[in-house]
Structure 1
Amino acid sequence: MKSDHEAPDAAQPGLAGLTAEPPVDFAVRVLRRVGLPRETYDTYVRLDTAVGGLFVAASPEAVTGAALDTGGLTATAFEELHRTRTGRSALRSAKPFPGVATALRTGRARRLRIDLSPYGPVEQAVLEAVRAIPVGQLRPVGWIAQEAGTPPEAVVGALARNPAAVLIPCHRVTYDNGTPCDAAHLPGVGDALRAAEGIDLRRMAELHRRGVVFLGSDTTRIYCHLTCAHARRITPPHQVPFRTAREAGLAGYRACRSCRPVTV
């Protein structure tokens, strides 16, 4: 005969099932059930990238923030970071904002809606210019400044405050001497992202050591940024290296209309 103290043991198998983890979007389901308007909070997901996990938050209209977990960022820490930056709560969801998964897979996020309204016009112009850099290509700070219509000194600061890591591809920006400008990333992260896009880092380093900034074609008489799709099609016998846009112009070459290098 079991004592009263032994009775709870019989219920153990049934209680074990109550310890199961709730669904990822449990909090969102609760808020929807009680009728809280979706516009009053953001949701976020964690997606895989070439360098680890990326937390991506969004309102119903646009992506409102993204941060890599490469520095040990946890979900709780991301929620706090997002609240500090935007003033909005972010709740874990099972469904990413439309277009985010495709943008991460292809590296093409130019048309993805990203909310930059918390930033001033200068920072917005810089970040939009960065968004225009094609996948697998690099552009220098001077190019960003020219495209954004801002002073070069304003560019690096804006990159460091990038609110949507990877989706706004700051890893595609270099200083004007060709070295990476990874103001928004921890050491090694930018190189990993560039390698994942097929950028030949060793070749780029070698060209930069030789002082090559632009590459011209002696058949078209056009010069491009080194990673421009047109530059990559120039066969070695027809490649003409240039250190400056002025040098290219004096040699009778004109700027590529696709990559729009800084003109003379």
Structure 2
Amino acid sequence: MRSDREAPPREPGRPGLAGLAAEPPADFAVRVLRRVGIPRETYDTYVRLDTAAGGLYVAASPDAVTGAALDTGGLTAAGFEELHRSRTHRSAVRSARPFPGVTTALRTGRARRLPVDLSPLGPADRAVLEAVRAIPAGQLRPVGWIAREAAAAPEAVVGGLARNPAAVLIPCHRVTYDNGTPCDAGHLPEAGDALRAAEGIDLQRAAELRRRGVLFLGSDTTRIYCHPTCAHARRITAPHQVPFRTAREAGQAGYRACKSCRPVSA
């Protein structure tokens, strides 16, 4: 005899209540906070967007991007929320709407004008990351270039890259060591390679130049030398390319530094 506390048998073909469960809308939590009158200025929102290196969590206040992290290391939404809270002391609530300009910045690789809040960092790290933001899409710059632009020591540059709070949007994947080796201090090397390839950087060509010790390319017609990925260097046809191992070598050969990519002067 069946106890009154036992659930009645489920009729064939009829799902239980568990079958009625559904994922809430991405902006459900934001709607609730608005409905109960929580000021938008008191919390950040975040979305997950696709990049060439995988998913990217991007958080923002009403005024600026406040953090971004790739999920390539197994980072989950809950993990990103915890990471963001520990770094900014602000909650990040899932949303369906990215901060204005973020999607375009990821698509074009041009994020320099995107407001990014670097206030939790010290002045040295901020200077390093602002210098990194000046590197154009599809180009690479060495640590020494960043050090000069940020008026920082090379070791401080590497530390600043590792503390980048806005992965991809602050393009640390465009930084190399002074010998041309990628300086992937803030993310996994395979993520850096994916991002560089997506920007049209010829990784095989870069590796070949690195093996030859070539850090600069000059044009024997203009007598100007550049970083190899500079837009002007990419226009130098093979017969007119002059490789240089150092800026001093280029200067001694009578070549001037490019005013666009501004390599270290001889």
Normalised-by-shorter TM-score class: over 0.9
- The one-letter code matched in structure 1 to 2:182 is P
1:262 alignment partner, one of 249, 261, 264: 264
What CA distance in whole angstroms lies between the structure 2 residues aligned with 1:86 and 1:6? Answer: 49
- How far does residue 17 in structure 1 lie from its aligned partner after superposition? 7.2
Show the counterpart of 2:180.
178
- How far does residue 251 in structure 1 lie from its aligned partner after superposition? 1.1
1:78 alignment partner, one of 77, 80, 95: 80
1:113 alignment partner, one of 112, 115, 119: 115
- How far does residue 24 in structure 1 lie from its aligned partner after superposition? 1.1
What CA distance in whole angstroms lies between the structure 2 residues aligned with 1:28 and 1:18? Answer: 23
Structure 1: 4+ residue segments shifted above 2 A: 3-10, 12-18
Matches within 5 A, 1:22-171: 22-171=24-173
- The one-letter code matched in structure 1 to 2:51 is T
Unaligned runs of 5+ in 1: none
Q: 8 Å contact 2:48–2:57 — kept in the other structure?
A: yes
Deviation by residue 1:143-176 (Cα, 9 ceiling, x = unmatched):
0001111111210000001100111110100000
Show the counterpart of 1:218.
220
RMSD: 1.8
- The one-letter code matched in structure 2 to 1:252 is G
1:192 alignment partner, one of 191, 194, 201: 194
Q: TM-score, normalised by structure 1?
A: 0.95
TM-aligned CA distance change 1:142 to 1:6, over 3 Å: closer
- 3-state secondary structure, aligned to 1:188: helix
Aligned residue-pair number: 262
- 3-state secondary structure, aligned to 1:198: coil
- How far does residue 254 in structure 1 lie from its aligned partner after superposition? 0.8
- How far does residue 206 in structure 1 lie from its aligned partner after superposition? 0.8
- How far does residue 9 in structure 1 lie from its aligned partner after superposition? 5.1
What CA distance in whole angstroms lies between the structure 2 residues aligned with 1:15 and 1:246? Answer: 75
Deviation by residue 1:67-89 (Cα, 9 ceiling, x = unmatched):
00001100000000000010000
- 3-state secondary structure, aligned to 1:23: coil
1:231 alignment partner, one of 230, 233, 252: 233
- The one-letter code matched in structure 1 to 2:252 is L
Deviation by residue 1:120-150 (Cα, 9 ceiling, x = unmatched):
1110010000011011100000000011111
- How far does residue 187 in structure 1 lie from its aligned partner after superposition? 3.1
Q: 8 Å contact 2:10–2:16 — kept in the other structure?
A: no
Show the counterpart of 2:209.
207
- How far does residue 244 in structure 1 lie from its aligned partner after superposition? 0.8
What CA distance in whole angstroms lies between the structure 1 residues aligned with 2:122 and 2:7? Answer: 67
TM-aligned CA distance change 1:6 to 1:184, over 3 Å: closer
What CA distance in whole angstroms lies between the structure 2 residues aligned with 1:77 and 1:142? Answer: 34
- The one-letter code matched in structure 2 to 1:122 is A
- How far does residue 189 in structure 1 lie from its aligned partner after superposition? 1.3
What CA distance in whole angstroms lies between the structure 2 residues aligned with 1:226 and 1:21? Answer: 49
Which has the larger displacement, 226-235 or 246-255? 246-255
- 3-state secondary structure, aligned to 1:204: helix
Show the counterpart of 2:244.
242
- How far does residue 237 in structure 1 lie from its aligned partner after superposition? 1.0
What CA distance in whole angstroms lies between the structure 2 residues aligned with 1:6 and 1:161? Answer: 55
